[in-house]
Structure 1
Amino acid sequence: ALDATTKSAVYDFKASYVRAVADQTATAGYVKTNTAYTITYQ
């Protein structure tokens, strides 16, 4: 679910395919931030 007010969303799954850099694997609690949204994976 995306909150249009806070521009943040929380997902209840591990997005292991999301990487900040080529050799850094996403883990539980990993936060990816871009210019529009902050997304937290739990």
Structure 2
Amino acid sequence: MSCGLWNVHQRLLYQFKESSGLLLSASPSGGLRIVLKWAEREAESA
């Protein structure tokens, strides 16, 4: 994983916890497939 992709992955983990991040896999058409995954945060009460 390149430095930029690692940084994005770490930021997602920090903001949205362990159910988030980048998922990289081979695409059936021969390319690279990247999925961004994050959980919706609950509303903060003020």
User: TM-score w.r.t. structure 1 length?
Assistant: 0.27
Q: Which fold has the larger relative contact order, with Cα–Cα distance below 8 Å and residues 6 or more apart in sequence?
A: 1
Structure 1 or 2: more strand by fraction: 1
User: TM-score w.r.t. structure 2 length?
Assistant: 0.25
Bigger Rg over Cα: 2
